[in-house]
Structure 1
């Protein structure tokens, strides 16, 4: 009976096998459940991840068969947390050999202090009916420029002394600086823990409003 089922469904089984290999080795889609990358990525976004941006890996492993590229400052990456293996999505702010520091939320890389422009007040929804005031800005440092967000009255690691990123590791931060478990808490990210580079939002739904589609964010670049 099992042999008959396998024979009757071999096309579907082959398709699922190929899909599994594709998702674990070439490209993947990553639902985002948290707001750690606001305002760039929202809860309910499904992000396309290029798994061969940096390495061609043996499927279902961290074993790199071929190096295909190197992460750059500003890349949004997915990776397995060095703390507990959870899949996370953050932005690379410092590369191997870089010296990175933070002073009262102000980032510096290799002695260059970040500039914050286009400041804009906002409301950050923490839960249905619960919101806090936020400040959004464009952060520019070491040739990269992207949006960041700070939450009013939040407790977090707003400052840390200058540290050098070790060889083969990366320092990552969430764009939502006061609501992100990033390298300030989990440490440097080893290269072998990288999964891929986030390329664009595929689809999006508002998880705070009955999963209503956010069509304006569909097929949107990051």
Structure 2
């Protein structure tokens, strides 16, 4: 028995640690839909870390409940608990301070050029939504100027593709308990493998 423990003990311990990490801390998730384009694409496979401290602009996985059904969504944290979040003609202001959203630059530029008609050539509904939009980021009623007060213990989550994303603008803020973890790494497709910053 001692010989077995000496030979196989470290391997068994390592295997146990790997399995526990995989089950409870490093969880694989898949992007479903286009709400995080172009940062993340539909079908991207990611690693979510359940123990990460959530900060502004992190990309997170959250449980969204609608009509009694819960599904996991991938969104970006825009508003932290207690924040006042405002948009005016695509300019974000948080607690009275203007904040740059560099991750939106590509799509905002394309929106200014042709209202994303070429980008959305794969989906007629997306083209219609973009054609009707007065700005890249509007509220659920299409207003380009809106303000949200994020309640304590809640987070305001938006998708990077604001035209097509269903997020806190429609479903409301997310409780801390609804946030499963932060996306840290993309492992598929192999051409885009790497850390998510």
The two structures have a TM-score, normalised by structure 1, of 0.62
- Aligned residue for 1:43? 42
How far off its partner does 1:126 sit? 5.8
- Aligned residue for 2:131? 153
- Aligned residue for 1:28? 27
C-alpha contact (below 8 Å) 2:61/2:74 kept by paired residues: yes
How far off its partner does 1:182 sit? 0.7
Q: Distance in 1 between matches of 2:186 and 2:125?
A: 25
**Pair 80,126 (structure 1): closer, same or farther in 2 beyond 3 Å:** farther
**Pair 76,44 (structure 1): closer, same or farther in 2 beyond 3 Å:** same
How far off its partner does 1:105 sit? 3.4
- Aligned residue for 2:60? 77
C-alpha contact (below 8 Å) 2:32/2:43 kept by paired residues: yes
The structure richer in strand per residue is: 1
Q: Give a deviation string over 1:154-206, Cα, whole Å, max 9, x none.
A: 556343632321111100111101111111011010001110000121112xx
C-alpha contact (below 8 Å) 2:184/2:195 kept by paired residues: no
C-alpha contact (below 8 Å) 2:126/2:163 kept by paired residues: no
- Aligned residue for 2:92? 107
**Pair 111,48 (structure 1): closer, same or farther in 2 beyond 3 Å:** same
C-alpha contact (below 8 Å) 1:47/1:198 kept by paired residues: yes
**Pair 46,126 (structure 1): closer, same or farther in 2 beyond 3 Å:** farther
**Pair 127,105 (structure 1): closer, same or farther in 2 beyond 3 Å:** same
Q: Distance in 1 between matches of 2:39 and 2:32?
A: 14
Q: Distance in 2 between matches of 1:40 and 1:72?
A: 18
- Aligned residue for 1:58? none
C-alpha contact (below 8 Å) 1:154/1:178 kept by paired residues: no
Structure 1 unaligned residues grouped into runs of 5+? 1-14, 54-68, 134-150, 205-214
| Aligned mate of 1:195, from 171, 175, 180 | 180
| Aligned mate of 2:122, from 127, 141, 148 | 127
**Pair 78,40 (structure 1): closer, same or farther in 2 beyond 3 Å:** same
Q: SS at the partner of 2:36? A: coil
Structure 2 unaligned residues grouped into runs of 5+? 1-14, 111-115
The structure richer in helix per residue is: 2
**Pair 200,100 (structure 1): closer, same or farther in 2 beyond 3 Å:** same
Structure 1 stretch displaced more, 169-178 or 100-109 = 100-109
The two structures have a TM-score, normalised by structure 2, of 0.69
- Aligned residue for 1:10? none
